[in-house]
Structures are given as C-alpha cells and as structure tokens.
Amino acid sequence: MLMAMLTRNLIFSCVGLALLVAGTSLHAQDKIVRNDGSVLQGVVQGYTVKDGAGTISFNVNGAVIGVPSRDVNKVEMQTPPEVARSKTQTPADRIKMLTPVVAKFKGLPAEWVTEAMAEIARAHVELGQESQSMAIYEEMEKLYPNNRFRIQAAAGKAEMAVRAGKHDEALKIVQPIIEQANKSLSPNDDDARLYANAFLVRGRALQAQGKNAEALEAYLTVVTTLYQNEDAAKKAEDLAAKLRQSNPNLIVN
C-alpha cells in the first residue's frame, strides 16, 4: 500500500512539473519598458496606427490592453521563428516569409521588427527591385521619425548608394550616425547592434574609394566594439581579412 501511494504521488508530481514547464514555455513573457522606467510583462499581440498614434496590443494575464507607443521607451519581445528561418532562404522566399509578420508589427519599437524590414529591403535589392527597397526604407523613416531605429533605414539607404557606386552619398548618409556612435566609448548592446550596419557601410564606401586604412578602421570597429550585431561583425571580419590579405602592410592610424 505504501509503495502504491508513493508511486501515485510521484506520478502526480511529475505530471504537475511537466504542466508547469509546458505552461512556462507557452507563455514566454515580453516586456514593455515605459518612458518612466516602469515595466509591463505579458505577450505582444500586434501594433496598430490610427490618426498618427501607435498602440501596442498587449496581453497581460489573459486581458488585452492597449499601450500608447508614445509612452514606451522600448519593447523586449520574443522574435518570431519566421525571422530566424528566413536567413537561409532565397530572396523571394525571405520576402514571402517576413512580409506578413512585419505587417502585423511594423512601427513597434522592437529591434527585430526593423531588422526584418531591412532584410526584406535587402532581398528586394538582390532581386534588382531597388524601388521596392527604397520604399521600405522610406516607410521605416516615417514609422520611426524620432526613434533610434531610424538608424536602420539610414544604413540601408547608404548600402543602396554603395551598390550604385555613389560612395560620397553613402558616406554623407552615415556620417551623423558615426558621429553619434563616437560620442560613446562603450554603447549599450541595443545601440551597438544598430550602429554596426552604419560602420560596415562606411568601410565598404571608403574601401571603394581606395581609403583602405580608414576602411579597415571601420571594419575593426564593428568587430571589436559593435560585435553584438553578429551578422555585421562576421561580414566586417571577412572584409577586414581580405583587405589585409591584399594589403599586407596596411595599418590603422
């Protein structure tokens, strides 16, 4: 009898633990950090704009509330799985996978949203659809007019300028971002990931102009200081290695 009771209790305990773990995984928490520093925890369900005002649909313990974006400093949100899966897809498939996700959340002050929009824009460029790409970057600027995420759009426009051989134009676009980044010796992780793209584009534009030492400095800045952006850091590392290989005596002043 005692053994049967112990066995039954053990089974109930294991089932309870399994349900607890399952519940935890099914209800991963997103965070909204307000301008006053207060934090809301729940699940972001969408983002809408009406009459120029944005509202975040936020599920808190089963109740959906609207949080005005003007009151929000940043959103820490679980990145949708489509975003990670899209990285290995063809340009056309990246656009197909990311477009519906972006449509649901664009305007939300979350890093993955702007990166997904930029990825769609890059995919359009790869397909030779520059006008569609430019339209996305211009939409990003409208959605984030006074927000640090505007950096993504500027870096994207500069990248398009480099592809078109307009290197001076690219450098002019990213210069304010470079100056902003240089004001901080150690930017926080969120800012570092955004700055990295601007420095990467700067390096490519300078290298195209034959200014190899300055280009190398830009690449190394991404690798050593703005490494939080893993994709940009990998590209910068590869570009720096190739630049040094073709210029063995190259040094950074």
Predicted local distance difference test score (pLDDT) of residue 110 = 86
Per the CB < 8 A criterion, the answer to whether 117 and 104 are in contact is no
Contact between 130 and 160 (Cβ < 8 Å):
yes
Task: Note whether 97 and 85 are within 8 A (CB).
Answer: yes
Q: Which residues 6+ apart lie within 8 Å of 250 measured at CB?
A: 212, 213, 216, 243, 244
Q: Is 105 helix (H, G, I), strand (E, B) or coil?
A: helix
Q: How confident is the prediction for the chain on average, in pLDDT?
A: 86
- Evaluate if residue 14 carries a pLDDT over 60: no
Q: 121-144 burial string, b = 16+ CB within 10 Å, else e?
A: bbbbbeeeeeeebbebbebbbebb
Mean pLDDT over 132-147 rounds to: 90
Per-residue model confidence as pLDDT tens digits over 91-122: 999 999 999 999 999 988 888 899 999 999 99
Is pTM beyond 0.85 here? no
Non-local (6+) Cβ contacts of 99 within 8 A are 120
What is the spatial distance between Cα 55 and Cα 229, in angstroms, rounded to a whole number? 28
Tell me the pLDDT band of 40, cut-offs 50, 70 and 90: very high
